[in-house]
């Protein structure tokens, strides 16, 4: 187990801004109580050489995950490459050991872990595979290593199916790899069908009805295949959760599995290469699945998330950090009101009066309720006025960030911001006022879909709790 004071790793590629890897590795580091810092680094093809040279001399960097477009280009720069990575022709994990760089492909590990979890016996059995790209090769490798009897590859757009059948036939002579162009008349019943194409990815977003139907039709051959009892349908896609392939498979009573478990197992495999064994892999896997499903759901479902709670509870910082993680924009209603009024909240209250502030606030909330991909932090009193609560409940998810009175007082003092409702009070009076306001507001805050207690929690753990809870709302 590595215990270097500072360990760093990163995902490299371009573009990398939507990569889930930083969220995954930060969560693993937190759960393993291990100080690994993980970042994403946009590295262009022109920069790859220099990046890898620097990596060799960076003592803290345990390695990198490699993504598009460098999975093949990185290979000639490495000192050693695993058999899996050589067969697949792509490296997705680089380990930095001493002055050497070692290349791995953890797709195979992710696929094998999925087979194991599903307890699908592949030795002497037949499998049918849609697609013949990079991940299809990893599937072929795993099937060859498992001792499958036959692997039928369907890849109608190009000759890659025939090419990989030939390649893996040489590597695993005991398994029959063959390209197929039809579905009927095949000799065997299948224990496994796999989709390794991107057909059906993001199917719920921005696709015409015709394009979505085309995706569905691509898998119509499933109905002509024969299956063993308990056969598994495995789609490598993990977003959306349910795909055209899996929906058809479910209608045929096959056991469906999407690619999220594989994604997690691959990441855990990277960790084990860089750092060493994990303390409790099963619990970690379960927690990561819930966390990542939350992120993915919130990337798909674009309805606004509103954060409510008392002043200084941390709504704005939670909104900003949550928004970053799920690719949304954070908006603070108080800030919007200040911009619209052209003066500070204290000035609006003292010059125009509270009703003027509440009117602007209500208009802002009504507008935001129609906007996609927003995380909105609400002013502490917003829900108590007009139809704000109704408007919010009808449009998105409402989260109450709670805190005890003493914690709120400490945070308010730390902030040192002049709040109109608390100005001019001494400490005892302030506590009384906080209590009074909280008693009044709490029943309304508690109308939220979810309550997260923020007492003694770090910002990251509050963000994670919000994300997991909201992302897994029915
Ligand atoms: P790839 O190397 O680009 O291969 C894609 C394959 O799909 C090729 O055989 C391609 O056919 C075929 N294909 C693409 N679009 C098609 C279409 N519209 N109609 C018919 N066939 C089509 O991609 P990859 O790296 O293997 O990834 C494939 C999928 O697996 C992606 O959705 C990816 O997200 C997913 N994946 C998931 C994980 C995980 O951890 N869960 C890991 C790796 C990949 P041609 O030969 O004709 O181009």
pLDDT digits (tens, 9 = 90+) for 146-193: 999 999 999 999 999 999 999 999 999 999 999 999 998 787 899 999
What is the CA(197)–ligand 1 centre distance, in A?
3
Q: What is the pLDDT of residues 84-134, one digit of tens each?
A: 999 999 999 999 999 899 999 999 999 999 999 999 999 999 999 999 999
Which atom of ligand 1 is found nearest the CA of 258? 41
Instruction: Kindly state if the Cβ of 133 falls inside 6 Å of ligand 1.
Output: yes
Q: Is the CB of 149 under 6 A from ligand 1?
A: no
Helix H or strand E segment including 239: none
**Beta carbon of 237 within 6 Å of any ligand 1 atom:** yes
User: Residue 320's closest CA among 160, 212, 466, 130?
Assistant: 466
Reading the block at residue 89, the tokens are 């022709």
Kindly state if the Cβ of 312 falls inside 6 Å of ligand 1: no
Q: Which ligand 1 atom is at minimum distance from the Cα of 132?
A: 9
Q: Which of 105, 108, 133 has most ligand 1 atoms within 8 Å of its beta carbon, as the pocket-test mutant?
A: 133
Is the distance from the beta carbon of residue 131 to the nearest atom of ligand 1 less than 6 Å?
yes
How far is ligand 1, taken at its centre, from the CA of residue 181, in Å?
18
Q: Which residues contact 152 (CB under 8 A, 6 or more apart)?
A: 126, 127, 128, 129, 178, 179, 180, 186, 190
pLDDT band at 205 (very low <50, low <70, confident <90, very high): low
Q: How far is the CA of 236 from the centre of ligand 1 (A)?
A: 9
Say how many Å lie between the CA of residue 160 and the centre of ligand 1: 12
With a 6 Å cutoff on the Cβ, whether 195 touches ligand 1 is no
Which residue's CA is the closest to the ligand 1 atom numbered 20?
157
Between the alpha carbon of residue 53 and those of residues 50, 63, 78, 145, 387, the distances in Å are 5, 13, 10, 34, 60
Q: How confident is the model at residue 198 (pLDDT cuts 50, 70, 90)?
A: very high
Write the CB contacts of 53 (distance below 8 Å, at least 6 apart in sequence).
none
pLDDT in tens, 364-386: 999 999 999 999 999 988 999 98
Angle (nearest 5°) at CA 68 between 66 and 74: 50
Asked whether 134 lines ligand 1 (CB < 6 A), one says yes
Compute the distance between CA of residue 38 and CA of residue 64 in angstroms, rounded to an integer.
9
Q: How far is the CA of 121 from the centre of ligand 1 (A)?
A: 25
Instruction: Give the pLDDT band of residue 196 (cuts 50, 70, 90).
Output: very high
Q: By the 8 A CB rule, do 438 and 384 touch?
A: no
Instruction: Give pTM, 2 decimals.
Output: 0.84
The protein residue with its alpha carbon nearest to ligand 1, atom 8, reads: 133
Instruction: Label residues 89-109 b or e (16+ Cβ within 10 Å = b).
Output: ebbbbbbbeeeebbbbbbbbb
Q: Tell me, in angstroms, the distance from the centre of ligand 1 to residue 412's CA.
A: 52
- Does residue 420 carry a pLDDT above 80? no
User: How confident is the model over 436-454, as pLDDT tens digits?
Assistant: 999 999 999 999 999 999 9
Q: Which two tokens stand for residue 184?
A: 């009927």
CA-nearest of 298, 233, 288, 284 to 263 is: 288
Q: Which atom of ligand 1 is nearest to the CA of 259?
A: 41
Cβ proximity of 155 and 131 under 8 Å = yes
Measured in residues, the chain has a length of 474
* Ligand 1 probe mutation, 196, 240, 244, most atoms within 8 A of CB: 196
- Residues forming the active site: 71
Model confidence over 256-297: pLDDT tens digits? Answer: 999 999 999 999 999 999 999 999 899 999 999 999 998 888
CB 265 within 8 A of CB 113: yes
Report the DSSP pairing between strands 93-97 and 61-66.
antiparallel
Cβ 91 vs Cβ 74: under 8 Å: yes
């Amino acid at each position: 187990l590595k215990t270097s004071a500072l360990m760093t790793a990163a995902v490299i590629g371009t573009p990398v801004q939507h990569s889930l890897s930083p969220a995954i590795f930060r969560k693993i580091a937190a759960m393993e109580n291990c100080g690994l810092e993980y970042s994403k680094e946009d590295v262009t093809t022109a920069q790859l050489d220099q990046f890898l040279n620097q990596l060799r001399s960076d003592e803290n960097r345990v390695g990198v995950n490699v993504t598009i477009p460098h999975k093949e280009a990185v290979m000639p720069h490495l000192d050693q490459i695993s058999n899996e990575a050589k067969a697949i022709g792509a490296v997705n994990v680089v380990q930095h050991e001493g002055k050497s760089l070692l290349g791995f492909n953890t797709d195979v590990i992710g696929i094998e872990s999925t087979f194991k979890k599903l307890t699908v016996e592949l030795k002497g059995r037949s499998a049918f595979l849609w697609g013949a790209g990079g991940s299809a090769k990893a599937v072929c490798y795993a099937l060859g290593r498992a001792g499958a009897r036959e692997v039928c590859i369907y890849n109608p757009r190009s000759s890659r199916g025939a090419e990989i059948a030939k390649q893996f036939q040489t590597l695993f002579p005991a398994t029959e790899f063959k390209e197929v162009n039809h579905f009927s008349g095949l000799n065997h019943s299948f224990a496994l069908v796999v989709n390794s194409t991107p057909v059906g990815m993001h199917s719920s977003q921005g696709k015409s009805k015709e394009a979505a139907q085309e995706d569905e039709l691509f898998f119509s051959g499933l109905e002509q295949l024969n299956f063993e009892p308990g056969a598994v349908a495995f789609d490598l896609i993990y977003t959306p959760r349910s795909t055209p392939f899996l929906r058809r498979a479910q209608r045929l009573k096959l056991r469906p599995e999407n690619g999220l478990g594989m994604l997690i197992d691959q990441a855990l495999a990277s960790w084990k290469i860089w750092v060493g064994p994990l303390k409790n892999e099963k619990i970690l896997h379960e927690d990561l699945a819930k966390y990542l499903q939350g992120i993915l759901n919130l990337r798909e479902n674009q309805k606004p998330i509103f954060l409510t709670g008392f002043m200084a509870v941390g709504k704005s910082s939670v909104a900003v950090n949550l928004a970053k993680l799920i690719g949304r924009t954070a908006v603070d209603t108080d800030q919007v009101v200040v911009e619209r009024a052209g003066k500070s909240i204290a000035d609006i209250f003292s010059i125009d009066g509270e009703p003027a502030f509440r009117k602007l606030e209500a208009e802002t909330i009504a507008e935001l309720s129609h906007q996609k991909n927003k995380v909105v932090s609400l002013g502490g009193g917003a829900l108590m006025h007009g139809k704000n609560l109704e408007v919010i409940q009808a449009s998105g998810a409402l989260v109450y960030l709670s805190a005890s009175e003493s914690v709120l007082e400490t945070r308010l003092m730390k902030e040192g911001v002049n709040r109109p409702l608390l100005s001019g009070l001494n400490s005892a009076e302030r506590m009384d006022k906080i209590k009074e306001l909280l008693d009044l507001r709490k029943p309304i805050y508690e109308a939220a879909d979810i309550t997260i207690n923020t007492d003694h929690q770090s910002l990251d753990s509050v963000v994670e709790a919000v994300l997991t809870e909201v992302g897994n709302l029915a």
